[in-house]
Amino acid sequence: MAVKSLLKQVGAALAIGAALWAQTSSAAPAADERPNFLIIMADDLGYSDVGAYGGEIDTPNIDRLASGGLQFTNFYNSARCSPSRANLLTGRYAHRVGMGENGGSMSVDVRTVAQEFKDARYRTAMVGKWHLTRATPLADPAEHLKWINHQAYLDRDFGDRATYPAARGFETHYGLIWGVSSFFDPFSLVEGFEPVPTVPKDFYLTDALSDRAVSDIESFAKEERPFFMYLAYTAPHWPLHAPEKAIAKYRGRYDGGWEQLQEARYAKQVKLGLIDPKTAPKTQLSGDWAQNPEKPWDQLSQAERAQASAKMSVHAAMIDVMDQGIGRVIDALKRTGQYENTVIVFVSDNGASPETMTSTRGYQPGYDRQSETRDGRKIHYGVDQPALGSATSMAGIGSYWANAANTPWRYWKAEAYDGGVHTPFIVSWPKGLKLKPGTRVHTLGHVMDIAPTFYELAGVKPRTEGQPPIDGISLTKALAGKKMSRGKPLFFEHEGSRAVILDDWKLVARAPGPKSKVYAPWSLYHLKTDRTETRDLIESEPKRAAAMARLWNEWSTSVHARQRSEP
């Protein structure tokens, strides 16, 4: 009897222990029921570069995600690469995690979404661009150029390894540590912590990232645990690099110029029902970016028009190749039986970029821009681009094309106007979304909302002790078709560009210049009747503007944004 009594007590203890383990190990449902998560982030993608948002570029795979899932029409980022990526990975305003401005290291004291998912027994992987590690240039400029030209120091680290993705919750990472690189022979390419010293002769970065994502997905399929993957493409960020076959497809398509492109995209957006001309009037294209002011199309020579058209053809080709890769990733999910229960989101880190590499104030070889290829061929900067699209070219599309690529919005990357901060946002989840496929969601959202949304969908409770507050909100109600409100203003600040959205109003100011100690003056727009920010109402609504400015000032102080003087 004593033995039976002892066995009964042991059995009871084991049952209690199992129950306690189940309660403390994870609040999520069983592993085979939890969804996978795949974030696809484009780099410097224009709002209307995607077909589903009004573009003419061939993006059938991204478009299918939109037509088969949910298409958000009122979604935002933080206007620049690093801040938006910090938002995405932490759910917080970038200033709270040391990333209010470009080029630093994200605070290692703040937990990432990858760390939270890894602790919840998810497999975690990152493929692509990081740009959240402070670069460590060599002191000697000549030696530094050798390094970024792949001509020396091939085993040198690109920054503090403690800030790398592989140290921030990602079990694997294949991609770039820095923010800018050749697509044919990329600098700062790593496998985990280790520099990748060479790449194959036919290497093209976008394809390599897509292929690696496919490989990781096939590997994940062999396990019962779900996965969290962050696929961060570098396309279509400058330099304008693409395979010749891809460029040829678009050659001549943009010979009509940027006004013609804007007109066509705007008309398509109206036809698709994305915008209403009564509340979103067509804007005037601008080429007034301070560092690279450009001439209007009708003032260009035939040779200049040909060069400009060619630039946009390469930009389109880069997006086309990215879309083809996304198609292969989706096929891998379907082939391995994981597609139905994978939450896929597609987003851009900011609007299209106005940079052209022609300014004498910064766009020259050095820091993260090569002067030669690995085998010693000179890389061409400036207006003269004899081999545009190739490894020896360093060019961007410029402000007019960027403005047109962001149709219907004004301006471009780094500005708090919608051309800088308004992004396509698509959510696909065949098993979990109950709304009609292709439904448009008009809820106000931000890239920092992705992490808390994923936490709720996975049943993951992020740690809060010793952490700054999570600023993003869960969008699960919006995913279910329910009305929801943020309940608080949405703030923006990047290197002096600034904005606050409150209800149907937006107070906004352009960037004052990188060295300016004075903000640009505010403008006020009523988004309900002027979605494209064309009619400044600050003189007729001074009290509203002042109240919103006070909110912005309180917020910017609370998150320790760099302060400037009012004009």
Residue range 557-565: average pLDDT?
A: 96
Give the per-residue pLDDT at 29: 46
Give the per-residue pLDDT at 12: 39
Give the per-residue pLDDT at 32: 62
Give the per-residue pLDDT at 561: 96
Query: Rounded CA gap, 119 and 343, in Å?
Result: 19
Taking only the tens place, the pLDDT of each residue in 161-192 is 999 999 999 999 999 999 999 999 999 999 99
8 membership: H or E segment, kind and range = helix 2-25
Residue range 309-338: average pLDDT?
A: 98
Whichever domain contains 533, its CATH number is 3.30.1120.10
With respect to residue 8, please indicate whether it lies within any of the assigned structural domains.
Answer: no
Query: Rounded CA gap, 109 and 137, in Å?
Result: 24
Looking at the structure, tell me whether residues 478 and 491 fall in a common domain: no
Looking at the structure, tell me whether residues 437 and 556 fall in a common domain: no
Looking at the structure, tell me whether residues 103 and 189 fall in a common domain: yes
Looking at the structure, tell me whether residues 385 and 476 fall in a common domain: yes
Closest CA to 85 of 122, 116, 46, 41: 41
Which residue shows structure tokens 């851009």?
Answer: 348
Residue range 10-37: average pLDDT?
A: 50
Q: Which of 482, 506, 538 is the last residue of a domain?
A: 482
Max Cα-Cα span within the chain: 102
Query: Do residues 346 and 64 lie in contact, with contact meaning Cβ atoms separated by under 8 Å?
Result: no
Looking at the structure, tell me whether residues 466 and 515 fall in a common domain: no
C-beta atoms surrounding 539 within 10 Å = 8
Give the per-residue pLDDT at 18: 35
With respect to residue 355, please indicate whether it lies within any of the assigned structural domains.
Answer: yes
Residue range 230-245: average pLDDT?
A: 98
Give the per-residue pLDDT at 448: 98
With respect to residue 135, please indicate whether it lies within any of the assigned structural domains.
Answer: yes
Looking at the structure, tell me whether residues 383 and 339 fall in a common domain: yes
Looking at the structure, tell me whether residues 492 and 399 fall in a common domain: no
Residue range 519-539: average pLDDT?
A: 98
Residue range 81-104: average pLDDT?
A: 96
With respect to residue 5, please indicate whether it lies within any of the assigned structural domains.
Answer: no
Looking at the structure, tell me whether residues 466 and 510 fall in a common domain: no
Looking at the structure, tell me whether residues 55 and 124 fall in a common domain: yes
Closest CA to 126 of 60, 170, 156, 74: 170
In which band, very low, low, confident or very high, does the pLDDT at 21 lie, cut at 50, 70 and 90?
very low
With respect to residue 529, please indicate whether it lies within any of the assigned structural domains.
Answer: yes
pLDDT at 193 over 50: yes
Looking at the structure, tell me whether residues 469 and 560 fall in a common domain: no
Taking only the tens place, the pLDDT of each residue in 414-429 is 999 999 999 999 999 9
Length of the chain: 567
Q: Which of 450, 482, 514 is the last residue of a domain?
A: 482
Give the per-residue pLDDT at 109: 97
With respect to residue 384, please indicate whether it lies within any of the assigned structural domains.
Answer: yes
Query: Rounded CA gap, 329 and 362, in Å?
Result: 37
pLDDT at 384 over 70: yes
| CA 191 from centre of chain | 21
Residue range 354-379: average pLDDT?
A: 87
pLDDT at 290 over 70: yes
Domain that holds residue 517: 487-566
Number of domains the chain is built from: 2
In which band, very low, low, confident or very high, does the pLDDT at 101 lie, cut at 50, 70 and 90?
confident
Residue range 241-254: average pLDDT?
A: 98
Angle at alpha carbon of residue 146, lines to 142 and 149, rounded to 5°:
130
Give the per-residue pLDDT at 1: 39
**Positive/negative CA dihedral, 556, 560, 561, 563:** positive
Residue 320 vs residues 191, 311, 390, 428, 460: alpha-carbon distances, Å: 26, 14, 16, 20, 35
Residue range 68-83: average pLDDT?
A: 98
Residue range 460-473: average pLDDT?
A: 96
Range from 293-302, 346-355, 357-366, 391-400 carrying the lowest mean pLDDT: 357-366
Which amino acid is present at 181?
S
Give the per-residue pLDDT at 359: 62
| Cβ partners under 8 Å of residue 454, min gap 6 | 37, 113, 117, 228, 343, 460
Q: Residues of the chain with pLDDT > 90: what percent?
A: 89
Taking only the tens place, the pLDDT of each residue in 126-174 is 999 999 999 999 999 999 999 999 999 999 999 999 999 999 999 999 9
Closest CA to 173 of 132, 226, 120, 137: 132
pLDDT at 199 over 70: yes
Residue range 495-518: average pLDDT?
A: 95
Whichever domain contains 441, its CATH number is 3.40.720.10
Taking only the tens place, the pLDDT of each residue in 438-452 is 999 999 999 999 999
pLDDT at 11 over 70: no
Residue range 181-210: average pLDDT?
A: 98
Q: Which of 482, 506, 525 is the last residue of a domain?
A: 482
Q: In what order do the strands lie in the sheet with 490-494?
A: 490-494, 497-502, 505-509, 523-526
With respect to residue 177, please indicate whether it lies within any of the assigned structural domains.
Answer: yes
- Mean pLDDT taken over the chain: 93
Looking at the structure, tell me whether residues 116 and 183 fall in a common domain: yes
* Tokens (6 digits) for 442: 């008009």
With respect to residue 373, please indicate whether it lies within any of the assigned structural domains.
Answer: yes
Looking at the structure, tell me whether residues 417 and 556 fall in a common domain: no
